């Protein structure tokens, strides 16, 4: 996500300064204060996150430092300096018990420690500053970033050396293509309409439906089988239905993000050329 935002912002002619976690640890208040007060940016966009859902159960302190304390530090300094803050959260703040997409008015109820730490980050940001854009995304995928947290990249790797794949049908959400989300976020910033938003591609699907669609597109010759989450034992609960309703984003931006199918096709087109 960070790289797509950085690239698009540069194309817009914005002056952008980007920091890796090796250079700036957002859980370190002193470092955050020094960086922001020295640079004096118009806006801070926080893409830092601890995204390892399973590991977070044991490494919850590290997850909380990045997902909760880091946003607290950013929000505190941004408020003092009258700087706007963009912070990303997740569909995993919800328990998945609904059968219709979650709206920004639905109350969070995370099932696991990863979701709990992300919710804490939301609370810190929304309580410590008024100049925030709090963006929930779900099932994030893009050309850049870590393969281990990108379902489509993992699927493409699996398809290269396996002739059978078992993908769950009971996990449903809204895919979010980083290029599309980046555009929407930068457009949202320019409106000055602070608040909580859900930003995903249009529509939702199960992991199985998404995999089926991708594997057909790449003419995979193997066999795809439906599975249940219980077929893959895990101590970590995940929401079964966490699709996000993006209302009122369309009325603010003047457009709706492309469908997840359109976004995935564009991803594949670029991925297969690399």
What is the DSSP code string of 118-154? Answer: HHHHHHHHHHH-SSEEEEEE-SEE-SSS-GGG-HHHH
The radius of gyration computed from the CA coordinates of the chain, to the nearest angstrom, equals: 19
Would you report the helix, strand and coil content of the chain in percent, each value rounded to 5? 45, 15, 40
d(CA 52, CA 103): 25
In this predicted structure, what is the pLDDT of residue 185? 98
Say which of 114, 177, 204, 208 is annotated catalytic.
Answer: 114
d(CA 189, CA 135): 11
In this predicted structure, what is the pLDDT of residue 95? 97
Contact 114, 53 (CB under 8 A): yes
In this predicted structure, what is the pLDDT of residue 87? 98
**Low-confidence residues of the chain: pLDDT under 70:** 147-149, 274
pLDDT tens sequence across 1-42? 999 999 999 999 999 999 988 899 999 999 999 999 999 999
- The pTM of the full predicted model, rounded to 2 decimals, is 0.95
- Whether 114 is catalytic is yes
Contact 172, 205 (CB under 8 A): yes
In this predicted structure, what is the pLDDT of residue 21? 84
In this predicted structure, what is the pLDDT of residue 147? 62
| CATH placement of domain 2-271 | 3.40.50.720
What residues contact 251, with CB distance under 8 A and at least 6 apart? Answer: none
């Amino acid at each position: 996500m960070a790289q797509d935002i950085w690239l698009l912002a540069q194309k817009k002619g914005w002056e952008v300064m980007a920091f890796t976690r090796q250079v700036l640890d957002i859980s370190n208040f002193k470092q955050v204060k020094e960086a922001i007060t020295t640079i004096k940016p118009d806006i801070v966009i926080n893409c830092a996150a601890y995204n390892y859902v399973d590991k977070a159960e044991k490494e919850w302190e590290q997850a909380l430092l990045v997902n909760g304390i880091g946003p607290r530090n950013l929000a505190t300094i941004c408020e003092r300096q009258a700087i706007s803050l963009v912070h990303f959260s997740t569909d995993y703040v919800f328990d998945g018990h609904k059968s219709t997409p979650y709206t920004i008015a639905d109350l969070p109820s995370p099932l696991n420690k990863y979701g709990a730490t992300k919710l804490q980050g939301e609370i810190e940001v929304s309580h410590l500053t008024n100049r925030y854009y709090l963006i929930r995304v779900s099932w994030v995928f893009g050309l850049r970033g870590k393969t281990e947290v990108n379902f489509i990249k993992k699927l493409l790797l699996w398809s290269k050396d396996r002739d059978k794949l078992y993908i769950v049908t009971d996990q449903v959400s809204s895919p979010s293509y980083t290029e599309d989300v980046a555009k929407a976020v930068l457009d949202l910033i320019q409106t000055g309409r602070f608040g909580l938003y859900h930003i995903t591609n249009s529509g939702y699907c199960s992991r199985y439906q998404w995999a089926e669609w991708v594997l057909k597109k790449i003419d995979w010759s193997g066999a795809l089988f439906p599975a249940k989450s219980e077929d893959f034992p895990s101590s970590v609960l995940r929401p079964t239905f966490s699709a996000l309703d993006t209302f009122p984003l369309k009325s603010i931006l003047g457009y709706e993000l492309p469908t997840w199918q359109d976004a995935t096709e564009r991803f594949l087109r670029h991925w297969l050329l690399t």
